[in-house]
Each structure stands twice: as C-alpha cells, then as structure tokens.
C-alpha cells in the first residue's frame, strides 16, 4: 500500500512528546512490511538539519502530477533552498476539488447561538491573496528506509522555539495558518494532485493535520481511487480550538461552519474535521477509546465519538526496541538483560550520583519522567512526598512544564538533599539512565491515552506504578490482582492512594525473589511495533475494501 503519514513531529527530526516516537516507530514498522510509506511534516530547522540524504527539492504545482524542477544534492543533511513558488490552486471558499461537503445527521455538540458562517475578514490567509513559496524537501528518516517529505515554508516554520510554541512557551499566534497548510498540502499529495504519487491511505495525526480529511473529502464521488483516511487521536485534550474569525480567515467552505463539522460551541475546532469525515478513527489504547466516549474524558466531543463508535479503534502503541534495549543502550553505565539483570544495580548507583542523590543501596529509587503538569500527577507525587520519604525511598525526577510545579519540585530537592533529585528540562540520555537506574517508575497520571514510559520501564526491569487509566490500564497488571502481574495500580488518583501503593510495592521490593519475578515478566514481554503495525495494516485493508461514501 501507498501510505501518506501526516504528522507535526517525528523523532529524531522534531519531538515534543509521544507523537514523535509513534511517528518514527509506526512508519518504520510499516516500511519494514514492504509498504510505500511517505512521512509528511513541516520543515522545522531541526528537521532540515537532521534529514538524511540523498536530498531532493520538489516544487508543488497546481495541477495533478506536476513536479516543477527537481534538485538533488550529495549531502546527507537537508539544507532548504529558496526555489521558486509552489502553490496548490483552490477556488475561493472551497476545498481542493471545487465542491463543498454537505452536512448530514444530528449535530453531536450544541453551539452557542446560530451556527452561521462568520463573515470573511481582511488579511485572509488563502492562496487567492497570499502566495506561499512552498516546496517539498525529500529525504529519509534517519536510521530507516522511510521516505520523508518536509513542507518547506520558511515564513511558517523557520522559527526559534518548539513546533507549536515560542521559546517562552506561548503558542505561535498563527498556528491555525501553519497547520492549515500542512493539512491542505497533505490532501493534495494524497489525492495525486501533486508530486506524481497518490496514496491509498492518508493517515493524519492529532489536530495539526485534522483538516486533511476535510480537503480530501471534497474530491468527486466519481473519483473511485480517492484515498481512504485514518485519523489518530494521541491526546484529545489538544483539539486545535480557535476563534470563529479564524474560520473566515482560512476561507474554509461555508458548509463546514456547522456543529456537525468544524463549529464547536461557537469556535473553530480543527479536530472535528477529522472526527466527522475520516473513514476510520484510532486512538492509542482500547481503554482510552472507551474513555473518550464519556463526558469525563471526551472534552465536549464524547457525543460525536459515540456516534462514530463503530469506526473508533484502540490500538496500543509499540516502542522502538532497538533504541530502548538495556542490553545495548549506549546511554547506560552498564548494560544488562532479562537473563542477566545484575548490572541494573550499577545503573542505580550511577543515576543517583548524576542527579544528586545519596548512594544508598538500601534505599529504593523511585523515578519519574514527563511533563510537569497536573495531568501527569506530579502534584500527587508532591502531596505524597512525606510518606514516600518516610518509607525510605529516594526520588529522581526529570521533566519540565508548569512553572509552579517546577518551583515546588526544586524546593523539595533543596529541602531534602540527597533524597530528592530534580532535573528541569529533558535529556534523552538521562531519561534512559533514570529508566535503568530506578527500582520503581511512577506514572500517577489522571488520564493517559497510551503512555510509553511504562513500556520502557517494563523493558528495563523497572516495574511501573500507575493510575489505571487509558493505556496504563491496558499494559500494567497489578501483581495483587493478576497472577502474571507486572506492576502496581493505585486505587484512586490521589496522594494518599499513591503513597499507599508505593508502600505496598516496597514490601515486594524487600523480597528480592518475588521482585525479580515481577521484573522478569516485564522484561520478557513483547512491546515492539510489530503487533501495532499489523493492527494498522488490517484496518487500512478493511477500509480500502469498503466503498467510499460521502459523509
């Protein structure tokens, strides 16, 4: 199959979270199965620098199959050049293809006031009055056989900061325009309108590419080879919400300003385009797929998701078992494996010294890596801290996020020298060393679509302690509830339950024979992308076999 995988980030080109890992792992696994996978993402400075060659520069044309001027360099790293203009033609107020999608069925979410299309405003960001000098930089995803297409538009993507925010953490004020263009170009490529390549499957991810199915939907029903669409929700909390006037600025089809399409309580929600129009919807665990159909986890979209429950699939993420392998990991003080785990103790000693903890082999080490926000339960760790320290444990914490929580952690480290070690920021090597050196890995998340760190922890012989939500419930089995248990689950998402569960886990840690059995179960399980990729391929084949119907 020809698969266009559209994402806002992919490791190692650009990464802010789990989406970057998924984009790398899944596309590599699909390519290993012989599929023609093209990964499309913005040409951020880091992506252009890290892209592997040979490098080609492709100009986007306005007609099907048009590729204007190719240039090839012998370098192995991409350096974008200014090479003419590239535009995708579009009639004013219409998606590519010239038509407009018609509304259908009952509105899943109510709107404030009338669902009336906002009036167009000045300074519109459409091709009719804004000419983008865009091109595609073609290369290869490092360490793989996956072809990468970087959408190069320096005005939109050549910036200092993260893919989504400034260096100070403020969202880019034109994110709506930046990811509108990613979606629009994705649809044109997938439909074969540009680049002499047409996809069988367009696989979009999160709100940043959620408009791609909107544009693709509008290709004629007589277009029998229209690509089928899959949309993956990695975290429903991020929906791409913008004010109503953005809808007018983007000149989206008027019919899309509708509670059944893009309008969301009087605002524009990019994600609704994909949720309403994709042929299939996936999310990253079966439990999270059920949770987001409830008001507690649905972020106002649970009604829409319930209406599409037959098209909604939960597929657990895999992990890159080459990068995350304690037997070969170059970041570790000493390598170890399930048959020979003894060197794990050397890693505990090394990370303790690195992060400023006492070197005390009798004191269990609790690890945490993640965003320092309430979703991840870092406030629960702070609330449970007196009991955790009273139990004799030490803590190693790596992450960044909410300034208040960062300060609270640094104050805790200052108040408890040698017992609490905190590293603000993110360091890939240190993340590996915390996974290897910790005795227990803490993930008390209030919600967690899938989670990857618990899978890394299992692989590294570090039993995870989790709040059983989303993918954590699907991958971590409590040792007291399951004969094949591989970790520990809290009874509730609160500090008291977290502390009690740590104390329960430490009772097992004191019994080294029982502890080693728990470790062995986790280290021997298969967490590779193989099973996940097979599930996606099966889904792709099923929707391809189903005749396309306009939604």
Q: How far apart are CA 388 and CA 382, in angstroms?
A: 9
Cis peptide before 12 (omega within 30 of 0): yes
For the cut 70, the answer to whether the pLDDT of residue 532 exceeds it is yes
Comparing C-alpha atoms, which of 549, 539, 548, 546 is closest to residue 105? 549
For the cut 50, the answer to whether the pLDDT of residue 441 exceeds it is yes
Q: Is residue 293 part of a domain?
A: yes
- 539 and 511 in a single domain? The answer is no
pLDDT at 79: 45
Q: Is residue 379 part of a domain?
A: yes
- 84 and 226 in a single domain? The answer is yes
pLDDT at 18: 85
Comparing C-alpha atoms, which of 440, 456, 460, 459 is closest to residue 506? 440
Q: Is residue 336 part of a domain?
A: no
- 258 and 137 in a single domain? The answer is yes
Tell me the residue range of the domain where 277 lies. Answer: 2-318+532-544
- 494 and 516 in a single domain? The answer is yes
* pLDDT tens by residue, 237-295: 999 999 999 999 897 889 999 999 999 999 999 999 999 999 999 999 999 999 999 99
pLDDT at 507: 98
For the cut 90, the answer to whether the pLDDT of residue 73 exceeds it is no
Q: Is residue 270 part of a domain?
A: yes
For the cut 90, the answer to whether the pLDDT of residue 504 exceeds it is yes
Q: How far apart are CA 336 and CA 443, in angstroms?
A: 24
pLDDT at 83: 36
Domain count, the chain: 2
- 389 and 348 in a single domain? The answer is yes
pTM over cut 0.75: yes
- Which is more confidently placed, 63 or 322? 322
Average pLDDT over residues 39-57: 97
In this prediction, residue 82 has a pLDDT band, given cuts at 50, 70 and 90, of very low
Q: Is residue 513 part of a domain?
A: yes
Q: Is residue 92 part of a domain?
A: yes
Q: What is the mean pLDDT of the chain?
A: 88
pLDDT at 67: 35
In this prediction, residue 117 has a pLDDT band, given cuts at 50, 70 and 90, of low
CATH for 481: 3.40.50.2000
For the cut 50, the answer to whether the pLDDT of residue 421 exceeds it is yes
Average pLDDT over residues 219-238: 82
Which of 12-21, 295-304, 325-334 is predicted least confidently?
Answer: 12-21
Q: How far apart are CA 56 and CA 58, in angstroms?
A: 6
- 183 and 286 in a single domain? The answer is yes
Which of 104-118, 198-212, 337-351, 503-517 is predicted least confidently?
Answer: 104-118
For the cut 90, the answer to whether the pLDDT of residue 124 exceeds it is no
- Which is more confidently placed, 128 or 104? 128
- 229 and 270 in a single domain? The answer is yes
Tokens 């540009």, residue located: 194
- 497 and 518 in a single domain? The answer is yes
- 396 and 272 in a single domain? The answer is no
Q: How far apart are CA 274 and CA 292, in angstroms?
A: 15
* pLDDT tens by residue, 169-209: 899 999 999 999 999 999 999 999 889 899 999 999 999 99
Q: How far apart are CA 26 and CA 15, in angstroms?
A: 15
- 306 and 348 in a single domain? The answer is no
Token pair in block for residue 493 = 């998402």
pLDDT at 251: 77
Q: What is the DSSP string of 477-536?
A: -BTTT-TT--BEE-SSSSHHHHHHHHHHHHHHHTSHHHHHHHHHHHHHS--SHHHHHHHH
CB 73 within 8 A of CB 53: yes
In this prediction, residue 115 has a pLDDT band, given cuts at 50, 70 and 90, of very low
pLDDT at 199: 96
Q: Is residue 476 part of a domain?
A: yes
For the cut 70, the answer to whether the pLDDT of residue 105 exceeds it is no
- Which is more confidently placed, 101 or 187? 187
Comparing C-alpha atoms, which of 1, 449, 2, 6 is closest to residue 211? 6
pLDDT at 549: 63
Q: Is 240 left (phi over 0), alpha (psi -120 to 50) or beta?
A: left
- 354 and 233 in a single domain? The answer is no
- 272 and 369 in a single domain? The answer is no
For the cut 90, the answer to whether the pLDDT of residue 64 exceeds it is no
Q: Does 15 appear as a known binding residue?
A: yes
Q: Is residue 463 part of a domain?
A: yes
């Amino acid at each position: 199959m020809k698969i266009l995988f559209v994402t806002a980030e992919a490791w190692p080109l650009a990464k802010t979270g789990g989406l970057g890992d998924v984009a790398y792992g899944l596309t590599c696994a699909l390519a290993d199965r012989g599929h023609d996978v093209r990964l499309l993402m913005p040409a951020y400075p880091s992506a252009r620098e890290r892209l592997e060659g040979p490098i080609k520069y492709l100009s986007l044309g306005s007609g099907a199959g048009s590729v204007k001027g190719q240039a090839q360099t012998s370098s192995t790293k991409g350096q974008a050049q200014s090479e003419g203009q590239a535009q995708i033609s579009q009639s004013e107020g219409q998606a590519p293809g010239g038509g407009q999608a018609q509304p259908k069925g009952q509105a899943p979410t109510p709107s404030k006031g009338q669902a009336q299309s906002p009036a167009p405003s000045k300074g519109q960001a459409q091709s009719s009055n804004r000419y983008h000098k865009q091109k595609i930089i073609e290369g290869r995803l490092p360490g793989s056989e996956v072809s990468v297409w970087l959408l190069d538009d320096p005005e939109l993507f050549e910036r200092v900061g993260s893919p989504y925010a400034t260096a100070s953490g403020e969202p880019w004020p034109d994110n709506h325009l930046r990811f509108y263009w990613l979606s629009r170009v994705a649809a044109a490529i997938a439909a074969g309108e540009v680049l002499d390549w047409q996809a069988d499957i367009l696989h979009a991810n999160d709100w940043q590419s959620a408009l791609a199915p909107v544009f693709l939907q509008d290709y004629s029903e007589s277009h029998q080879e229209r690509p089928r669409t899959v949309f993956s929700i990695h975290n429903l909390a991020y929906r791409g919400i913008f004010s109503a006037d953005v809808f007018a600025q983007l000149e989206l089809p008027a019919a899309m300003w509708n509670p059944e399409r893009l309008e969301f309580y009087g605002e524009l929600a990019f994600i609704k385009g994909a949720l309403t129009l994709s042929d299939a919807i996936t999310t990253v665990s079966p439990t999270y797929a059920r949770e987001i159909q409830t008001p507690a986890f649905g972020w106002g979209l649970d009604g829409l998701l319930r209406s599409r429950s037959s098209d909604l699939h939960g597929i657990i993420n895999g992990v890159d078992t080459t990068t995350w392998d304690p037997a070969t990991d170059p970041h570790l003080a000493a390598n170890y494996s399930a048959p020979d785990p003894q060197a794990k103790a050397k890693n505990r000693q090394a990370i303790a010294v690195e992060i400023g903890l006492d070197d005390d082999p009798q004191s269990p080490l609790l690890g945490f890596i993640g965003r320092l926000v309430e979703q991840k339960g870092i406030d629960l760790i702070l609330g449970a801290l007196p009991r955790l320290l009273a139990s004799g444990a030490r803590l190693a914490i790596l992450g960044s996020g909410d300034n208040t929580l960062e300060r609270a952690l640094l104050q805790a480290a200052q108040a408890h020298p040698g017992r609490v070690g905190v590293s603000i920021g993110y360091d890939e090597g240190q993340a590996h060393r915390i996974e290897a050196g910790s005795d227990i890995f803490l993930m008390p998340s209030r919600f967690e679509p899938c989670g990857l760190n618990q899978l890394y922890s299992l692989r590294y012989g570090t039993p995870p302690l989790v709040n059983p939500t989303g993918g954590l419930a699907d991958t971590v089995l409590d040792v007291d509830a399951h004969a094949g248990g591989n970790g520990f689950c809290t009874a509730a998402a609160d500090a008291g339950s977290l502390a009690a569960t740590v104390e329960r886990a430490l009772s097992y840690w004191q019994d080294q024979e029982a502890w080693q059995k728990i470790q062995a179960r986790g280290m021997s399980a298969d967490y590779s992308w193989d099973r996940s990729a097979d599930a996606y391929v099966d889904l792709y084949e099923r929707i391809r076999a189903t005749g396309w119907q306009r939604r």
